[in-house]
Amino acid sequence: MNQKNPLLEPFETAPFSRIKTEHYKPAIEESIRRAKADIEKITSSKDSPTFENTIEALEFAGEELDRITSIFFNINSAETNEEIQKLAQEISPVLTDFKNDVIQDPELFKRVKKVYDKKDSLDLNVEQNTLLDKKYKMFTHNGANLDPEQKKQLRELDKKLAALSLNFGENVLAETNKFELHLTKEEDLDGLPKGVRTAARMLAREKNKQGWIFNLHYPSYIPFMKYAKNRELRKKLAIAFGAKGFHGDELDNRENVLQIVKLRHQKANLLGYPTYAHFKLEERMAETPEKANSFMEELLEKAKPAAEEEFNELESFAKDLDNIDRLEKWDAAYYSEKLKQKLFDLDDEQLKPYFELNNVINGVFIVAEKLYGLKFQEVFEVEIYHPEVKTYKVTDEEGNDISLFYADFHPREGKRGGAWMTSYKSQYRQKEKNERPHISIVCNFTKPTDEEPSLLTFNEVTTLFHEFGHALHGMLADTVYPSISGTNVFWDFVELPSQVLENWCYEKDALKLFAKHYETGEVIPDELIQKIKDSATFHEGMATLRQLSFGMLDMSWHGRDPSDIQDVKAHEEKAFEPTQLYPDVKENCMSTSFSHIFQGGYAAGYYSYKWAEVLDADAFEFFTENGIFDRATAKKFRETILSQGGTEHPLTLYKRFRGREAAPEALLRRAGLLPKR
């Protein structure tokens, strides 16, 4: 079996063409067996525990398992089907069991603790010290100090949580795929741009239907909400979008939400923490839920007056334009777009011809070359999991290999919504060899149609730059140990490299490099660039309130004892009160499809988007002082932030780059909530 399973044979790049679904489970089981054998060698050693024979040996045990599981779970996100989802339900508890076997192994912990207890006399370098701390906390955070009965409880909790989280995500995906708004009358398309109509017609054709189909995937949903004149149809689509997992049927996620937060709280208590947020934030820049909450409250205080003013202006604009008495959530994007057009004479349809997908990809590559000297060459011999995936070889100015880069841009039924960066192979150094990473970004951008190539909205352009910023963090990693390489950093620091790169999308010197009309080749005119800049802070108060509402909802679930919460919707309404502008929609519930916190890794961490915005605004001000393509500033950012991963505390790394802590005023200035300097 082992010889025939491509996942168990040595491979440099993921052997997608040879992997069959039935290969995953046996490969994972076998690589678990091999990882256990590696760990057995550590625990049965007669030699006294040292950093090398215990901590380093543990770091590289299970390396094969990491690669196989990264392939499996990436496929489950980007190209899944019922068979793979079923397999994920089977594999998750097996992996949870293995993880618990390792972190609850008393002999292994004994050896780790012996090294940890004498760390002051070991003469370790900074990275080794970080790894030792990380390994020790891996055990203590996962119950190494618990008694046998408590350890058993923890295992059960982890197993249940893994299954619930998977089920939550599957329900959201099923709900997203299930809904269709099927239109057959042309007048129902009033206001919709030509490209949006064409895409909807193609979608209907794929389903063997006449007319046009709109669905809950972002490239279909967002333009409809922004441009469709028919208010009732916007309402129908918006309610469907907001009601995912909230229909009282077999895909309802309310019970999953309640179970997840209660089990997380039990886990935190078992490990000696008052709440799940206290447990999670110990390894974050914010450190405590109190600090995270006060950070959000301070921003709320600054942003709320501006948000209320913006909302009132929008409401009176809608009343004047269409005699709308009360602004509802399904009116937000539509009237915001209309007001933006009026104030700035700008809309996405004007901009899209300048943002053809291949030009934008080329643009982000040019920006990376100008900043960091990177070269991107498309290669075709690397195996891919879907025909739409592109692969690139990344080298530096001397021709040295930096990374392999995968990119997957368009929505499909087997792909979850949103955009993310991931990796198929970590960077690390071992035996004098610097193993280079394999990095991937996955997005859901507007597809090409029969009549037009893929033309991106400006929001999609910033999303591509955002995910590429994460990718650079992975690609430029240069550390010894894989578990602290690349994006393996504190959660509220991980968004700095991604969010800082978005700033280049607003800069004339960057846009002129790639924003060219797809038909004429004309470079984007200065007046359009000025409009992009002028409109960048449009409704920034409301946008800030929206992000804070998600962060506060997250903390309301994880920063207190949730055992008395019976009604998901009622709890959510209360959490949203301080940030609420629009009337509530009784048919909708955010929590039941809040995948970031119930399926992804953002539980007790959603505030980190705003936290990282403070860092990125402050960092970008440093870039602007010397010019946005200043090589010396870029070199400093690469050497102090991008290459360092999680080798040191992020505050130390940031201060090394900036010379001081980040100033929140930089974000408020950029958001237009404070005067520019």
The structure tokens 């063997």 sit at 208
How far apart are alpha carbons 279 and 31 in whole angstroms? 30
In sequence order, which residues have a C-beta less than 8 Å from that of residue 271 and are 6 or more positions away?
141, 142, 143, 146, 154, 279
Contact 238, 465 (CB under 8 A): no
**Catalytic choice (56, 175, 467, 621):** 467
Contact 281, 652 (CB under 8 A): no
How far apart are alpha carbons 304 and 132 in whole angstroms? 44
How far apart are alpha carbons 27 and 9 in whole angstroms? 10
Q: What is the DSSP letter of 594?
A: -
CA dihedral over 579, 580, 585, 586, signed as positive or negative: positive
Contact 190, 230 (CB under 8 A): yes
Backbone angles phi, psi at 335, to 5 degrees: -75, -30
The structure tokens 């809040």 sit at 594
Cα–Cα–Cα angle for 399, 400, 404, rounded to 5 degrees: 105
Q: Which residues pair with 378 in a beta bridge?
A: 392
The structure tokens 């950029």 sit at 670
Element (H or E) spanning 438, and its range?
A: strand 438-442
Structure token pair of residue 555: 């903390």
Q: Calculate Rg over the CA atoms of the chain.
A: 25
Whether 467 is catalytic: yes
Contact 54, 136 (CB under 8 A): no
The 10 Å CB-count burial string (b at 16+, else e) for 450-470 is eebbbbbbbebbbbbbbbbbb
The structure tokens 């010889």 sit at 3
Cα–Cα–Cα angle for 563, 568, 569, rounded to 5 degrees: 145
Contact 175, 245 (CB under 8 A): yes
Structure token pair of residue 417: 């919504």
Contact 262, 562 (CB under 8 A): yes
Contact 647, 479 (CB under 8 A): yes
How far apart are alpha carbons 215 and 224 in whole angstroms? 9
Active-site positions read 467
